[in-house]
């Protein structure tokens, strides 16, 4: 399906997903229908009106497949079924039907860099060296001169994303298997054409069932170079574009889907290759460069204050790099990131709401497809963990244990996970002020944030001054003004430490977007000629009028506004 967008002088045809807004659901934490404390697909179906009212038209659902839950469902043991924890295939069919009846679409999460170690493919692969599925995974003997399990015997020195070596010894066969993530998530060997054919067939099976697109987890890791001397690499490996193009052609080529590749470590140049329509790979990628702006050299738990000058530079470079070929995804958070109001905004303070609005204004008015993570539209904040023992996330637990074992102070470890743990995104959705925030009638699998009585959907939906209403206005503006989708991006005030300002220039219209991303009032010099332009979005004005001051350069703490004008 190709959308037609009206502009001055006619219409322009473009893929439908360019005008879309995607809402991500982490099903375990969204809505529980049966009181077992875990969210499920019937619970999601019962809350679709919330997403539709927001204005999002695509729902991306994180994995709901059968899984031992070593990594909360990203360790899949069957790609073509539903874990009883979340429902049944009939529930998926009903979800698809309910979305389509609303004019909405479904994107499902595809995790094919690795499987669960309980997947029948791996169970068979592990059975013996002679197994017909042995080379469906990465098996290697110990290095020469070493016995399995000895220090230095691993085939490479790579470290897992979740901590420790990537090679797990299998005493039964005397070989190691590769797992870039948890040891219970063995990596598939995409060099084997039978593996790729099985993935293609699985994707076609879901398309036949009616899904509208795929989000591919860490997909740029599937091509790996392993050399006999223990060297090699796995980010954007030597055959990655060949593998992705083949998947495009054999699984969905010619169909008007939305496909998103999560690509840690991807550069702008690589993203252009992944998203150039002429190449037949993905529609867009998730890049991570802006997610590292508040990290030190030690990674996500080496916490630093956000550097807005650097953040603006990074995002502006991605805007420019994909301006003519390719497409950007726009996100502040997802199931793997902490809450943006706590990370970049004012946190749980008097400025929580206005900072949530300012951050949303900046993000949604870049060029690309915005992604809203559940609860972001309410301004939900990080959970106040008081002990590392409260953590569920395997990455946070492993990092905490390692840091403590290496002598880190417990209070420093707790401060780091309170800033960066993935669990912050996974606490239950806050629906109302009833017990457990209306998420469940049972005991929730993760604790509900104690602020749920103040921060919840029931208190915001229908309130024109709420964070939710602000998201609605941003989404409507996207549908009403083609410049939001198609306009060129021009960064202003690049060196200012807190003001994020930019122009969007389109056919016959322009936007000026200005946000003060700090708790102090500031005054800046902005382009002239905008004084009489229409104010189409405004938040954080100090006098409560809903309008920015006459002098455009005066900004209250966390104030944001957008002006629109016609141009010849």
What residues are labeled active site? 217, 262
**Cβ distance 421 to 390 under 8 Å?**
no
Cα torsion angle, 85, 88, 89, 92, sign:
negative
What's the rounded Cα separation, in Å, for the pair 162 and 72? 14
Residues ≥6 apart with Cβ < 8 Å to 295: 302, 303, 304
Helices marked H in 39-171:
41-45, 48-54, 89-101, 120-127
Q: Kindly give, in sequence order, each residue whose CB lies less than 8 Å from that of residue 190, ignoring residues fewer than 6 positions away.
A: 196, 222, 223, 224, 239, 243
The answer to whether 136 and 188 are in contact (CB under 8 A) is yes
The helix (H) or strand (E) run that includes residue 479 is helix 467-480
Return the bridge partners of 176, or none.
140, 169
Q: What are the tokens at 531? A: 């004084």
Q: How many CB atoms lie within 10 A of CB 11?
A: 11
Strand partners, 107: 60, 213
| Best CA proximity match to 203, nearest among 243, 242, 240, 250 | 250
Q: Helices 352-364 and 467-480, interaxial angle, to 10°?
A: 20
């Amino acid at each position: 399906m190709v959308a037609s967008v009206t502009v001055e002088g006619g219409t322009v045809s473009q893929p439908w997903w360019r005008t879309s807004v995607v809402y991500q659901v982490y099903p375990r934490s969204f809505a529980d229908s049966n009181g077992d404390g875990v969210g499920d697909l019937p619970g999601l179906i019962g809350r679709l009106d919330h997403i539709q009212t927001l204005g999002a038209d695509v729902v991306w659902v994180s994995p709901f497949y059968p899984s031992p839950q070593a990594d909360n469902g990203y360790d899949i043991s069957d790609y073509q079924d539903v874990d009883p924890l979340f429902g049944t295939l009939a529930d998926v069919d009903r979800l698809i039907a309910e979305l389509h009846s609303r004019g909405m679409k479904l994107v499902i999460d595809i995790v094919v860099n690795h499987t669960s170690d309980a997947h029948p493919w791996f169970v068979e692969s592990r059975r013996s060296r002679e197994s017909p599925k042995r080379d469906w995974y990465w098996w290697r003997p110990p290095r020469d001169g070493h016995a399995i399990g000895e220090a230095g015997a691993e085939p490479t020195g790579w470290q897992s994303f979740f901590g420790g070596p990537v090679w797990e010894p299998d005493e039964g066969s005397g070989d190691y298997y590769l797992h870039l993530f948890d040891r219970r998530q063995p990596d598939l060997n995409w060099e084997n054409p039978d593996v790729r054919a099985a993935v293609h067939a699985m994707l076609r099976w879901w398309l036949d069932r009616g899904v509208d697109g795929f989000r591919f987890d860490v997909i740029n890791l599937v091509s790996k170079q392993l050399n006999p001397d223990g060297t090699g690499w796995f980010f954007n490996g030597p055959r990655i574009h060949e593998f992705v193009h083949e998947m495009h052609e054999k699984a969905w080529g010619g169909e008007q889907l939305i496909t998103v590749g999560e690509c840690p470590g991807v550069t702008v140049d690589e993203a252009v290759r992944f998203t150039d329509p002429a190449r037949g790979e993905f529609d867009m990628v998730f890049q991570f460069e802006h997610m590292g702006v508040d990290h030190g050299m030690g990674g996500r738990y080496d916490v630093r204050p956000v550097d807005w000058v650097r953040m603006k530079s990074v995002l502006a470079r991605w805007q420019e790099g994909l301006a003519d070929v390719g497409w950007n995804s726009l996100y502040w958070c997802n199931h793997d990131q902490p809450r943006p109001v706590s990370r970049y905004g004012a946190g749980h303070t008097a400025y929580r709401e206005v900072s949530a609005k300012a951050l949303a204004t900046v993000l949604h008015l870049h060029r690309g497809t915005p992604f809203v993570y559940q609860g972001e539209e309410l301004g939900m904040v990080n959970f106040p963990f008081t002990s590392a023992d409260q953590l569920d996330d395997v990455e946070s637990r492993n990092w905490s244990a390692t840091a403590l074992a290496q002598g880190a102070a417990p209070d420093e470890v707790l401060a780091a996970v309170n800033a960066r743990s993935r669990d912050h995104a996974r606490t239950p959705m806050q629906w109302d002020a009833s017990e457990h925030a209306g998420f469940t009638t049972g005991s929730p699998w993760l604790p509900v944030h104690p602020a749920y009585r103040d921060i919840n959907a029931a208190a915001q939906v229908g309130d024109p001054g709420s964070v939710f209403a602000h998201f609605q206005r941003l989404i409507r503006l996207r549908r009403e003004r083609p410049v939001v989708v198609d306009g060129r991006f021009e960064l202003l005030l690049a060196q200012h430490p807190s003001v994020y300002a930019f122009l969007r220039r389109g056919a016959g219209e322009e936007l000026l977007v200005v946000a003060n991303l700090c708790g102090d009032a500031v005054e800046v010099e902005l382009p002239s000629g905008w004084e009489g332009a229409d104010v189409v979005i405004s938040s954080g004005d100090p006098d409560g009028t809903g309008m920015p001051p006459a002098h455009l350069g005066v900004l209250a703490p966390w104030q944001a506004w957008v002006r629109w004008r016609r141009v010849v």
